[in-house]
């Protein structure tokens, strides 16, 4: 994470969509909208169709509803995504991992809209369900990011620490921990955190740039310069690959 660039948020990938998946579909069949009469990205479709007053919880496939929300995320319909994830959380069994996943993803969608207060609330709701589950590390690290954006740096660090405690193999959590350590002037610990992130597969220009910043703070200018050069090479390579892929489009 750098001062002038926002990093991508981490959110659960779900089960993915099949190759012949044509449109958003929800169980039961009565909820399916007529594609000739409804705008396919109308943000009211899901929320108007799914209402606890009208639909029994056992009639809703929560996992599929989460997939709808993730699909909205992929086309940058973040407001629709927040509403869809909230519905998923409401219909999921109380205290379930499905509910936690929905709340976590709702927080991500709010963060994309820079609605950090709402994002913080969603992540905290996810952690209220279980602060030690497979989704908890993601909720903690994303909560740390939202709290930092909201100006609560001390609390942000606590959640960054908790994320790596819950899942020591979560590479992005180590990256975030390193970022907060640099911000607090704990540069040696930051370098160790960035190295852990790199070893766990989080290998991109962002983490190298942050590591270079920490090394510079430590006075290791030669190593900082070498790492910064690798980061620049990585960015240039990514740009070349993008031009090759889309240059003819």
Interval 146-196: pLDDT, tens: 999 888 888 998 999 999 999 999 999 999 999 999 988 899 999 999 999
How far apart are the C-alpha atoms of 170 and 208, rounded to whole Å?
17
pLDDT tens-digit readout, 10-25: 554 443 333 333 333 3
Give the pLDDT of residue 58.
54
Mean pLDDT of 131-138: 87
The answer to whether residue 53 scores a pLDDT higher than 60 is no
Give the pLDDT of residue 75.
94
The answer to whether residue 239 scores a pLDDT higher than 90 is no
Question: Helix, strand or coil for residue 122?
Answer: helix
How far apart are the C-alpha atoms of 59 and 26, rounded to whole Å?
9
Give the pLDDT of residue 225.
95
Mean pLDDT of 82-99: 91
User: Across-strand partners of 2?
Assistant: 5
* Cβ atoms of 80 and 99 closer than 8 Å: no
Give the pLDDT of residue 248.
54
* Cβ atoms of 179 and 197 closer than 8 Å: no
- Chain-centre distance of CA 63, in angstroms? 18
| Mean pLDDT across the chain | 80
Q: Which residue has the higher pLDDT, 12 or 88?
A: 88
* pLDDT band at residue 247 using 50, 70 and 90 as cut-offs: low
Tabulate helix, strand, coil % of the chain (nearest 5).
Answer: 65, 0, 35
Give the pLDDT of residue 83.
94
Domains of the chain as residue ranges with CATH: 1-133 (1.25.40.10), 168-249 (1.25.40.10)
pTM over 0.75, yes/no: no
């Amino acid at each position: 994470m750098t001062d002038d660039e926002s990093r991508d948020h981490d959110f659960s990938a779900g089960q993915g969509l099949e190759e012949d998946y044509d449109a958003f579909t929800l169980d039961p069949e009565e909820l399916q909208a007529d594609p000739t009469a409804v705008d396919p990205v109308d943000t009211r479709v899901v929320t108007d169709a799914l209402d606890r007053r009208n639909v029994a919880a056992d009639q809703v496939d929560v996992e599929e509803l989460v997939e709808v929300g993730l699909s909205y995320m992929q086309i940058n319909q973040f407001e629709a995504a927040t509403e869809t994830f909230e519905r998923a959380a409401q219909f999921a069994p109380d205290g379930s991992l499905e509910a936690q996943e929905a709340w976590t993803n709702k927080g991500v969608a709010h963060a994309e809209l820079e609605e950090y207060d709402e994002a913080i609330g969603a992540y905290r709701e996810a952690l209220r369900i279980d602060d030690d589950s497979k989704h908890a590390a993601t909720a903690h690290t994303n909560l740390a990011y939202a709290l930092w954006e909201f100006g609560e740096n001390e609390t942000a660090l606590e959640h960054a620490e908790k994320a790596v405690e819950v899942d020591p193999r979560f590479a992005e959590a180590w990256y975030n921990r390193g970022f907060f350590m640099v911000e607090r002037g704990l540069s040696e610990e930051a370098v160790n955190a960035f190295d852990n992130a790199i070893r766990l597969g989080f290998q991109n220009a962002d983490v190298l740039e942050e590591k270079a910043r920490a090394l510079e703070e430590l006075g290791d200018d030669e190593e900082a310069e070498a790492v910064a050069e690798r980061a620049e090479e990585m960015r240039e390579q990514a740009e070349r690959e993008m031009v090759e892929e889309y240059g003819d489009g």
